[in-house]
Structure 1
């Protein structure tokens, strides 16, 4: 195996722990999270930020999708007092994200990442019915949702599997996440209450004045759907590269 090929495989060990992605050409040796000691946050954070831009790229050969822009045919939120669906949503903004801190534990096969993103935009159509905290809300139509700075905290649980070829592969088993808007979020949902302007204006004014509380109420199904696509991408890459190949020195 050439030194350039080994460099590519080493980079994949980073991507493994941040949903992973393909590396096309690298001229210098890559930083690997396997070279970071457990709780060496500086090393892990550097590795994550080196890898992160690469996970946003589509790869038709293995079926990996673009993460920015990201297309979601349908996102469903079944909350206790509010039901909504978002259709044909385009999400942009993951390119603005970077890790402020990453904590890797090799023995436990976990990675916790604290990410700050500059801005997100979501646009598509919606159907909503229920109660938005204290106000009734109902409608369907087009929507645009824009944010500024956002913090995401993602906890990844990994696992090791054996392929049909007898080789071992590392994949993302599960994840949990938290999201917190650090600056105002703008909600623009058109045709609320079938176009009854007074009712619609009241709900939109409430949502935009109470952006943090509203975001915490409704955002999780949207972020989970997006991160699931990242994990799906990651595992497509991971299942093509045995662990022993990208941990070779």
Structure 2
């Protein structure tokens, strides 16, 4: 749940308009030649996270809060579960905890560490068991994740077009950890309150088993969505416009 957000936040630092040099008021450019370049980047990311996550239509950067997710399927360990019409909420409130960025080096790359509370709303369908306890139902689902920590590493490659040289995010990889998760599934066992409460309590006490299956596809989708949005943004903005004192290869 984590990786997608990180790339959007980095892009905020580089933000400018490829056509007329417009720079959003919440962004101050950083100069590569200055000793405080990395600190400047950090400050810009921290300042711009909540604003950038809402999207910049003028630059083709979509909102990621909420972020639409593809259908999620769990089929294993005696449990079949599907989440449809899923949306991720909370990326605009995520915080930067660490930053490593190398621009102008032989191999350009960055590493971001983020933390925040995230949630997923969706329609679920479940049939099977969580460990030893049956679960069956369909209806609205909400999943609340506390202190989601995400570390994202990526390379910054280059490509050229008629306007100049551009960045492109490639081969991103990530790590994540979740402090706790709470599930809220409506209409379990066709509304049988006693069975529903028992199963929901058990699911929340054993949340890691569900999240071991649920978290990886969610995070993968988030990252894919964010990388696509960021690369679309980079395709409109040349490096020379977004990083001052940068010398093109």
TM bracket (short chain): 0.7 to 0.9
Decide whether aligned partners of structure 1 residues 101 and 198 sit closer, same or farther in structure 2, where only a CA change above 3 A counts.
same
* 2:81–2:126 CA contact under 8 A, matched in 1: yes
Inter-partner Cα distance in structure 1 for 2:26 and 2:87: 34
State the SS of the aligned residue for 1:31.
coil
Q: CA deviation at 1:240?
A: 0.6
Q: CA deviation at 1:222?
A: 1.3
Decide whether aligned partners of structure 1 residues 44 and 58 sit closer, same or farther in structure 2, where only a CA change above 3 A counts.
closer
Within 5 Å, which residues of 2 pair with 1:13-24?
18-20=10-12, 22=15, 24=23
* 1:19–1:172 CA contact under 8 A, matched in 2: no
Inter-partner Cα distance in structure 1 for 2:55 and 2:27: 23
Instruction: Point out where structure 1 has 5 or more consecutive residues left out of the alignment.
Output: 1-14
Inter-partner Cα distance in structure 1 for 2:8 and 2:156: 9
Decide whether aligned partners of structure 1 residues 166 and 149 sit closer, same or farther in structure 2, where only a CA change above 3 A counts.
closer
Which digits, 9 at most, give the CA deviation of each residue in 1:106-164, with x for residues without a partner?
Answer: 333221111111x223212123455545555444321111233221122223221122x
* 2:109–2:155 CA contact under 8 A, matched in 1: yes
Inter-partner Cα distance in structure 1 for 2:26 and 2:192: 60
Confirm or deny that 1:229 pairs with 2:221: no
Decide whether aligned partners of structure 1 residues 174 and 152 sit closer, same or farther in structure 2, where only a CA change above 3 A counts.
same
Task: Identify the match of residue 46 of structure 2 among 18, 36, 49.
Answer: 49
Q: How many residues align?
A: 229
Q: CA deviation at 1:169?
A: 0.8
Decide whether aligned partners of structure 1 residues 161 and 194 sit closer, same or farther in structure 2, where only a CA change above 3 A counts.
farther
Which digits, 9 at most, give the CA deviation of each residue in 1:82-108, with x for residues without a partner?
Answer: 554322223221122111111223333
State the SS of the aligned residue for 2:225.
helix
Which digits, 9 at most, give the CA deviation of each residue in 1:183-228, with x for residues without a partner?
Answer: x321012234555656544442222113345434421211222232
TM-score normalised by L of structure 1:
0.73
Task: Identify the match of residue 174 of structure 2 among 174, 177, 185.
Answer: 177
Decide whether aligned partners of structure 1 residues 210 and 243 sit closer, same or farther in structure 2, where only a CA change above 3 A counts.
same
Decide whether aligned partners of structure 1 residues 206 and 175 sit closer, same or farther in structure 2, where only a CA change above 3 A counts.
farther
Decide whether aligned partners of structure 1 residues 177 and 128 sit closer, same or farther in structure 2, where only a CA change above 3 A counts.
farther
Instruction: State the Cα RMSD in Å.
Output: 3.4
- Structure 2 equivalent of residue 97 of structure 1: 94
State the SS of the aligned residue for 1:116.
strand
- Structure 1 equivalent of residue 141 of structure 2: 143
* 1:17–1:111 CA contact under 8 A, matched in 2: no
* 1:115–1:152 CA contact under 8 A, matched in 2: yes
- Structure 2 equivalent of residue 69 of structure 1: 66
TM-score normalised by L of structure 2:
0.73
